[in-house]
A = this chain, B = another copy of it.
Amino acid sequence: MKIGVFDSGVGGLTVLRALLERIPSADYLYLGDTARLPYGAKSRATVARYAASSARFLVAQGAEFLVIACNTASALALDVIRDAVPVPVLGVVETGANAAQASSATRDVLVVATAATVESHAYLLACEQRNLRALEKACPLLVPLVEEGWIEHPVTSEVLRIYMSELMTQAVDSALNPDTLVLGCTHYPLLRAQIERAVPMRWRVIDSAAVTAEQVAGMLEASGGAGKTQFFATDSVTKFRALGSRFLGRPIDGVDLVDLGG
């Protein structure tokens, strides 16, 4: 089984990392559409066009199953991607909402994500479809802090303390009794330990990378392969390797540069 993993950048490597741990025998194709990132600030039509061309590329390379590790593409373009390719497609917003549904006893969940994901209200909608009440909060400083490499860092702890206390206040103001926090951005798993320290003990923290790997494994239980991983990027492979290895948790050797057009 060849699994294609797509993200606009390197963040989706946290999903690939979890997949490699959970299904090590499968083959993987990872595409980071780094020339056209960030998707977050772009219109739905543009994101759909970029994501569909990226999905078609992965299927043309042999992918038999696609994981959309990009929150923005999952939020804005999952239907378009499904129409564009003849293979099963799973997105991180769905898998995060599925995990929240399984986790929450109070039916009240919180979601932290980038501003673009929050503005799309994709998690809110996915939660409502699962009979959950959800409160979404944008945490725009977390991605740059992760990309700066400030993981175990007092500034990051303080930023998380501020964001999480604002989130708790908003939950109280909305008369919610949350017991589950969804990390709705592929960068956030790198901060999971710090986030868990910043929230009440009783909250379950849902790492969308881990739960996505879990759900893919459930769907592809018997999948075999050669355990081979290939990387593709649409801009600087040097930058992809350098930043990406932090997200993958191991060095990245070969990255192929691909041109998907404007």
Contacts and interface: CB of A to CB of B under 8 A. Distances in A.
A148 B141 contact: yes
A155 B162 CA distance: 10
Nearest to A262: B262
A240 to B, nearest CB: 12
A158 B161 CA distance: 15
A37 B38 CA distance: 9
How many chain A residues sit at the interface, stated as a range, is 10 to 19
A244 to B, nearest CB: 15
A144 to B, nearest CB: 5
A145 interface: yes
Contacts of A262: 262
A147 interface: yes
A224 to B, nearest CB: 38
A144 B155 contact: no
A147 B141 CA distance: 9
Contacts of A155: 155, 158-159, 162
Contacts of A38: 38
A148 B147 CA distance: 17
Interface string A203-236: 0000000000000000000000000000000010
Nearest to A147: B140
A105 interface: no
Contact of A141 (B141, B154, B162, B235): B141
A84 to B, nearest CB: 20
Interface string A144-166: 11011010001100110010000
8 contacts: A34-B41, A37-B41, A141-B144, A141-B145, A144-B144, A154-B158, A155-B158, A155-B162
